[in-house]
């Protein structure tokens, strides 16, 4: 009942109710709209689930995009390598020993390059497995974005090609030739990225930080580098690791002849570039690359991919293809060549295989 002397007008009551409904609508409409939008965004699209950045529909990745970001990663890592070396803040320390007993060096350049390369690739292609020479410390995680731009030379030579994300393994070498890096032998230093599909190397990037030269190639795609057109069969040049030159020299001369030239060098990336037509004044030239001991896959995967793309070969010393899945090491040594009879080369090296597992 209304208080004495006050009469409630039906029209006033109706207006009051309408105002109340309006206030309630205003308060809750935004909330309901937000919940509806969240529901719609959370639901899969009609064509399938939402795909992560850097991936194509169906859990696939585009190899052309992966090549572009691999080139960028190698260059960005190289910038860190160069900055640390020129600032002379290497902070070098031993991280362990090789199977031959030599100390392996670790520097600030290795770590900063690794962080930059890993997080750039991981941010662009989160669904892809990435194997790196150096440990990735999650406490040092950084956001390194890719603007999804593809360089014109890659656009012109490479067509888009999608493969399942689960078939892809990326191998990073953030600083190849660390020992030479500490000795300031800059010409040997490279940063490398390799993409393997079902264990086969299909994309290789080799970047030289101190000259800003980058070689890249994609199997059944294209490249920005070429093989050398000729070599001297009578005086073959064999490029080998500086630490293994003595071990290889005697056997190499027995198999290739006394005029064989042995070229000691640092870094697997540098040695592969020696087989190619590279416009670098400090780049030596060789006909065959031989390694006679155990070697890690991130050291050789990029070079293997580049050679395959150009019609060359990199195999174990017994001629077996190297698979870039499973363990991170290659036990069988290696021999690499281009524009040569690779099978005939292998047949000349029966004695070297015995030392490859040491």
For 289, residues 6+ apart whose C-beta sits below 8 A from its C-beta are 238, 239, 240, 271, 272, 274, 275, 314, 334, 335, 336, 337
For 76, list phi and psi in degrees, rounded to 5. -65, -40
Q: Which of 206, 134, 194 is nearest to 169 (CA)?
A: 194
DSSP lists the bridge partners of residue 164 as 60
In angstroms, the CA 219 to CA 262 distance is 30
For 278, list phi and psi in degrees, rounded to 5. -110, 125
Of these residues, 108, 110, 191, 287, which one is catalytic?
A: 110
Does 133 count as an annotated binding residue?
yes
Q: Which of 81, 89, 116, 117 is nearest to 211 (CA)?
A: 81
**Across the chain, how many H-helices and E-strands are there?**
9, 19
Does 176 count as an annotated binding residue?
yes
Active site residue 110: yes
Burial class (CB in 10 A: 0-12, 13-18, 19+), 185: middle
**C-alpha pair distances (Å), 310 with each of 13, 220, 277:** 87, 9, 11
DSSP string, 38-63: HHHHHSPBTTBSPPPTT-BTTTEEEH
Of these residues, 178, 190, 214, 293, which one is catalytic?
A: 178
In angstroms, the CA 168 to CA 163 distance is 8
Does 173 count as an annotated binding residue?
yes
DSSP lists the bridge partners of residue 126 as none
List residues forming the annotated binding site for Mg(2+).
133, 173, 175-176, 299
List residues forming the annotated binding site.
133, 173, 175-176, 299
Active site residues: 110, 178
């Amino acid at each position: 009942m209304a208080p004495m002397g006050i009469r409630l007008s039906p029209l006033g009551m109706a207006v009051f109710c309408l105002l109340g409904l309006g206030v309630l609508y205003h308060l809750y409409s935004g909330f309901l709209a937000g919940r509806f939008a969240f529901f719609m965004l959370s639901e899969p699209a009609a064509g399938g689930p939402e795909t992560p950045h850097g991936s194509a529909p169906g859990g696939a990745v585009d190899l052309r995009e992966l090549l572009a970001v691999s080139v960028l990663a190698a260059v960005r890592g190289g910038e860190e390598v160069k900055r640390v070396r020129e600032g002379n803040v290497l902070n070098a320390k031993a991280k362990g020993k090789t199977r031959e007993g030599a100390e392996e060096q670790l520097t600030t350049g290795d770590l900063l390059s690794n962080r930059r390369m890993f997080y750039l690739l991981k941010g662009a292609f989160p669904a892809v497995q990435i194997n790196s020479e150096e440990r990735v410390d999650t406490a040092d995680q950084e956001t390194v974005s890719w603007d999804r731009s593809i360089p014109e030379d890659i656009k012109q030579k490479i067509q888009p090609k999608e493969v399942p994300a689960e078939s892809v393994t990326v191998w990073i070498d953030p600083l190849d030739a660390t020992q030479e890096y500490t000795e300031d032998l800059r010409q040997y230093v490279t940063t490398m990225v390799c993409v393997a599909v079902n264990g086969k190397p299909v994309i290789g990037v080799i970047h030289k930080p101190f000259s800003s030269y980058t070689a890249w190639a994609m199997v059944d795609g294209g490249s920005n580098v070429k093989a050398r057109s000729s070599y001297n069969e009578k005086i073959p040049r064999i490029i080998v690791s500086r630490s293994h030159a003595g071990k290889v020299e005697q056997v190499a001369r027995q198999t290739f002849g006394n005029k064989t030239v042995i070229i000691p060098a640092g870094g697997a990336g540098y040695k592969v570039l020696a087989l190619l037509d590279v416009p670098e004044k400090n780049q030596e030239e060789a006909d065959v690359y031989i390694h006679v001991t155990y070697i890690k896959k991130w050291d050789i995967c990029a070079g293997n991919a580049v050679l395959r793309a150009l019609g060359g070969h990199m195999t174990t010393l017994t001629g077996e293809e190297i698979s870039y899945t499973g363990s991170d090491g290659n036990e069988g040594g290696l021999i690499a060549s281009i524009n040569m009879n690779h099978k005939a080369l292998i047949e000349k090296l029966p004695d070297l295989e015995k030392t490859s597992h040491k």
